Chain A
Amino acid sequence: MNIKADFPTLIQEIDYGTPESKATKQVTLTVDGQSITVPEGTSIMRAAMEGGVEIPKLCATDMLDSFGSCRVCLVEIEGRGGTPASCTTPVGEGMVVRTQSERLDAIRRGVMELYVSDHPSGWNEKAGTGASEFDAVAKSVGLTENRYGVEGRNHVKEEGGVAPGHGSLAVDYIARDESNPYFTYDPAQCIVCSRCVRACEEVQGTFALTIEGRGFESRMVAGMHEDFIASECVSCGACVQACPTDALREKTVLEKGMPERSAVTTCAYCGVGCSFKAEVKDDEVIRMMPYKDGKANHGHSCVKGRFAYGYATHKDRILSPMIREKITDPWREVSWEEAIAHTAKEFRRIQYQYGRTAIGGITSSRCTNEETYLVQKLVRQGFRNNNVDTCARVCHSPTGYGLGQTYGTSAGTQDFDSVEYTDVAVIIGANPASAHPVFASRLKKRLRQGAKLIVIDPRRTEMVKSAHIEADYHLPLKPGTNVAVLTALAHVIVTESLFDEAFIRERCDWTEFQDWASFVALPENSPETVGKLSGVDPEVIRGAARLYAKGGNGAIYYGLGVTEHSQGSTTVMAIANLAMATGNIGRPGVGVNPLRGQNNVQGSCDMGSFPHELPGYRHISGDAVRDIYESLWGVKLDEEPGLRIPNMLDAAVDGAFKGIYIQGEDILQSDPDTKHVAGGLAAMECVVVHDLFLNETANYAHVFLPGSTFLEKDGTFTNAERRINMVRKVLEPKARYADWEATQELARAIGLDWNYTHPSQIMDEIAKTTPSFAGVSFELLERVGSVQWPCNEKAPLGTPIMHVDGFVRGKGKFIRTEYVATDERTGPRYPLLLTTGRILSQYNVGAQTRRTENVAWHAEDRLEIHPHDAEVRGVREGDWVRLASRSGETTLRALITDRVSPGVVYTTFHHPDTQANVITTDFSDWATNCPEYKVTAVQVAPSNGPTDWQKDYNEQARQSRRIAPLAAAE
């Protein structure tokens, strides 16, 4: 079957002009003689469009509330005087509307003529793309003349010779702003419709744009009339998308012209999983346009998803397989056939020499479900062991464990739409404004509508306070005290009888609740006691607990600040307890929502990437489950769990583990204790890295297989709301094979009989073997767009909200959450606590975003330090500082800010030069080995520059990236 979407055309989404009305009452009206029925509150403009009648418009678009400023969308209504604007006039029962008449035509033409008079000459040909909405409206109203001349005040006059284009500057001319790397703002093209300003406010929630001045002088500006790059703008691009003229336009469109065809696909950055139209011209992506039917993003995006796709064509991409004998040798480019044969031979040799379990694989959270499934299948069926793990090990493995124990499923309980019904949002250890920006925009919108907010985070993040947003309670806890603070919240809920007894009796085990309640009620869990060790004001803890318990629908959103701790799993359970105790589970607006970091980290976990689990979170020791795969794959599966990543590295150092296939993960940079990872890799005999770039891990590789980007393959990603989204191939793989094809070649080379011709067949195999995916197929996804698992006979179209009528495991389980302080303590030598995080413009280890223009915003990692801590150490803004822990040291430059509390320092980990994980310790979560990235005792001192380790590392990396010139043909 070949269902590769053929997409010869550009997908045009209908713009209804105003948002959908959610009213249930229906109203029927007549538009141009046609009877139309729509929900009450719908605008005439939208009703007409739903009936197929398009009314010309400039200031209206259905992503934004109606505004009524452009005066182009006027209509006539029988029995009413004048010509009301159809965007701001709601429909009425029996209303008779005319959208076309001589009077209306004359008015619209007159309005357009005035716009054109203050628009650059050549408005319909050379000034812009000629493809803007403005151009289309000018044409549709039949504008043929312009009696006012074209020498408007805000642009360059035709003749004269001093200004760009040999014109002269008119009185209100403002030069183009090219400061943003991705789009241009040309004020001369602006018609002051405010769509950009409103998009920035209503959709994105940043409020970076405004209309300056009044009358003829009014003009859109960023910030306080600043360059875009210097303003508050976060470059989400909503304004560019909203602009009906060429005033705000993607630079790629201006340079290369409008795209010609497009396909709907899914963003490959964070776990929000936004849907995009990948718009292409001549086999080049011109732009990524957020797709309005995308259930996660509803037509919005962030700077990464919309603009930062340049890595796909970056010169650093390796397009040929390479091999080398030793990691000190330069790379040698070889054919795919040779690379695959070499790898297969090496793996077989190692297994023969060192045993069946001496090799393993790592699946990628960046690759598709189908690719991930194949890698774990390769390990289990081909390597005949369970040595497979995934990068979720270092991020959300505690989520899987904690929610699995308490609720019975290893995933978030809600869809993102749920936030529209939330009354109290609790954000714990997450900064969605940076790491999950599109979700943050949706949450901010809800907060502006009046929802309350509690933030539990050591740092005063953008969510605590930014334009029109202010947390009702911020609990700036000391890193490492999550469990204590969450248990203190439970203490207040129990001792003040704020719990939901009816819910608990019905849904949970009452005896377990009582046991838990007696535990949390102990005095050592009181806010007063916990306040002392966490540094949070007890009254703030009490206030937050009362608000969450009694403030209406309470929803918890959390991130790696919860999981990457020695008590990560305990914290997840503490969160689950809070939601159960207050009855905040099983309906819209509530729930427990892990914000997953990577596009397919949920999917990679679902697909059996863990050494102890087959797809669908079924333990490898279960005979019935193994039977399913054994009969299908025709091999006997090992019933013992395999090695986790850290265990593989330990075993490598001990000499028992010699070969690894790593698909799309840079473990050297992302895993804890860099020196240990390097030691483990160096001890192996065949390290195969399958990636887009020579990443840091590839410094230790013997075989490099070039990877494919999400634009070059078909498949599916599963986002943080369990939503399975389609990924569609819009370009041919630059390195010949999509990743699933490369894995299949390797499988064949080691003797497996794999014959997939399309990823849809892999999904069919997943559906056939995994109950929670039983109903999923590409055909279904093509038809309905996306589904959230479980998707099977009981829920043929998927499950937006889980645990609706009861918990998956039966009764919800309350588990005691005793606070055990991490072994990582501050002391005289290491008095500060380091915690880590992300920034908006960069993504994870930065392999992709560092290879885009996004470096304009974040060229290096900085150490955030409180002014007090900086002063006593003699550190000034921008100084190089040495950051040392018990594990190692690195240097970076300081950024002095009171966002962090005294005693806490913070940095990001986007740049390999910084190597923040040289600092982090090898402490990890007690249940899942998830590393404790979020707490490290450190000292900070002024420094002159990079450490010896950084210099040595860079030299080693430089040496190991050499590629031998091809030998001249004989």
Chain B
Amino acid sequence: MTMQAASTEIASRTAAIIDEMKGIEGPLLPILHSIQDEFGYVPKDALPVIADGLNLSRAEVHGVVSFYHDFRAKPAGRHVLKLCQAEACQSMGSDAVAAKVKQLLGIDFHETTRDGSVTLEPVYCLGLCACSPSAMLNGEVIGRLDDEKIEEIVAEVRS
């Protein structure tokens, strides 16, 4: 599990990212992505630094960060499993898939297992409706989930 970085270190690493990217057009979202890549989450301590660097208010940065569910406020587990809960997947049984995964991992959506191995999140459409129900594990999509695939996934993230 990634340690929560100390605030001075967050500030200096964030400032370095801003320096590098502030020249690009519409820099806020790319900077937030870079910060999440850097720390595994978007630390609250980074927001005032971003606000200052881009001449925005803290409120504006908070508004953007909180709008996008992809930006996390705390570190995720080693693996991130997202289960699609949108309409097409629902019609193909994603509710049951979610229930089974939750039961196997012992956690609910938006939670991380106590050993820090995996974070479970809902997602609303991966663009993989033809292969519903679908999921995304560590950035890679998986289609046509069934019991076998689910057990495979759980075994992988548990290892």
Do A210 and B55 have beta carbons less than 8 Å apart? no
Of the candidates A213, A214, A223, the one whose C-beta lies within 8 Å of that of B58 is A223
Cβ contact of A209, chosen from B47, B59, B61, cutoff 8 A: B59
Of the residues A207, A208, A213, A232, contact of B66 by C-beta under 8 Å? A213
In the assembled complex, B110 has its CB within 8 A of some CB on chain A: no
Whether, in the assembled complex, A222 has its beta carbon less than 8 Å from a beta carbon of chain B, the answer is yes
Residues of A within 8 A of B47 (CB): 224
Q: Inside 8 A of B57's CB, which chain A residues have their CB?
A: 206-208, 210, 223, 232, 467
Within 127-153 of B, Cβ neighbours of A (below 8 Å) are at: none
| Cross-interface CB contact of B62 among A210, A214, A468, cutoff 8 Å | A210
B23 is an interface residue with CB less than 8 A from chain A: no
Contact A221 B62 (CB under 8 A): yes
Interface string of A209-238 (1 = CB under 8 A from B): 111111000000111110000011000000
Q: Interface residues of B toward A: which range?
A: 10 to 19
CB within 8 A of A467: which of B55, B63, B66, B69? Answer: B55
| Chain A nearest CB, measured from B88 CB (Å) | 20
Contact between B55 and A224, CB atoms less than 8 A apart: no
Q: How far is the CA of A223 from the CA of B57 in the complex (A)?
A: 8
Tell whether A829 is near chain B: CB-to-CB under 8 Å: no
* A207 CB contacts on chain B under 8 angstroms: 56-57, 59-60
A314, CB-defined interface residue at 8 Å: no
Give A11 to B18 CA distance when docked, in angstroms: 50
Give the chain B neighbours of A466 by CB distance below 8 A: 55
Interface SS of A by simple majority:
loop
CB distance from A465 to the nearest CB of B (A): 7
Checking A212, A214, A222, A467 against B51 with a beta-carbon cut-off of 8 angstroms, the contacting residue is A467
Least Cβ–Cβ distance between A697 and chain B, in angstroms: 42
CA distance A469 to B59 in the complex (A): 16
Q: Cβ of B58: which chain A residues have Cβ within 8 Å of it?
A: 223-224, 231-232
Give the Cβ gap from A216 to chain B, nearest Cβ, in Å.
13
Residue contact B56 to A223, C-beta cutoff 8 Å: no
Nearest residue (CB) in B for A469 is B55
Please report which residues of chain B, range 73-120, place their CB below 8 angstroms from some CB of chain A when the two chains form the complex: none
State the Cβ distance, A200 to closest chain B Cβ, in Å.
Answer: 8
Chain B's closest residue to A222 (CB) is B59
The residue that B55 contacts in the complex, of A206, A221, A468, with Cβ under 8 A, is: A468
Please tell me the number of chain A residues within 8 Å of chain B, measured between CB atoms.
22
Q: Are B67 and A221 in contact (CB-based, < 8 A)?
A: no
- Interface: B44 (CB within 8 A): yes
Contacts of A223 in B (CB 8 A): 57-59, 62
Q: Nearest chain A CB to B61's CB is how many angstroms away?
A: 8
Chain B residue with the shortest CB-CB distance to A200: B59
B residues near A206, Cβ cutoff 8 Å: 57
Chain A positions 474 through 513: 1 when the CB is less than 8 Å from some CB of chain B, otherwise 0: 0000000000000000000000000000000000000000
A222 to B59, CA, bound (A): 6
Q: What is the bound-complex CA distance between A468 and B54, given in angstroms?
A: 8
**A524 interface residue (CB < 8 Å to B):** no
What is the minimal beta-carbon distance from A661 to any residue of chain B, in angstroms? 49
CB-defined interface of B36-47 with A at 8 Å, one 1/0 digit per residue?
000000001001
User: Which residues from chain A contact B61 at a C-beta distance below 8 Å?
Assistant: 224
CB distance from A504 to the nearest CB of B (A): 38
Contact check, B55 vs A213: say whether CB atoms are below 8 A apart. no
A262 to B69, CA, bound (A): 48
The answer to whether A470 has its CB under 8 Å from any CB of chain B is yes
The answer to whether A212 and B63 have CB atoms under 8 Å apart is yes
CB-CB under 8 A from B63, the residues of chain A are: 210-212
A-B contact pairs, 22 of them (CB 8 A): A206-B57, A207-B60, A210-B59, A210-B63, A212-B62, A212-B66, A212-B67, A214-B66, A214-B67, A214-B69, A222-B59, A223-B59, A224-B59, A225-B66, A231-B58, A232-B58, A232-B59, A465-B55, A467-B51, A467-B55, A467-B57, A469-B55
Given contacts A214-B67, A470-B55, 5 further A-B contacts (CB under 8 A): A207-B59, A208-B57, A212-B66, A213-B67, A467-B56
Sorted from nearest, which 9 A-B pairs have the closest CB atoms?
A: A210-B63, A207-B57, A224-B62, A210-B59, A467-B57, A212-B66, A213-B66, A223-B58, A224-B58
